[in-house]
Amino acid sequence: MNYQERIEGMSCNGCANTVKSALETIDGVTDVAINLNEKQADIESVKELDENQINQALSDTSYTVKAFK
């Protein structure tokens, strides 16, 4: 399953790496690609995800999901 998430607050490569690392901790996630220009995370998962799981993974960071697709 593929998800495209708009992530609010990313402005540099350090931000992107923090978000990527946090999203990779979600059970079932197999790949995360960050597009810093678009402020977007592309997530591949073998399990269905919901917005709460993504927000929980980001809870220790200063970033939030702006749009869940």
Express each pLDDT in 53-68 by its tens digit. 998 999 889 888 887 6
Total-model pTM:
0.89
Residue 22: HSE in the Cβ half-sphere, 13 Å Cα cutoff: 22
Express each pLDDT in 4-54 by its tens digit. 999 988 999 999 999 999 999 999 999 999 999 999 999 999 999 988 899
Tell me yes or no: is domain 2-68 CATH 3.30.70.100: yes
Model confidence at 69: pLDDT above 80: no
61 Cβ partners below 8 Å, 6+ apart?
18, 19, 22
pLDDT at 26: 95
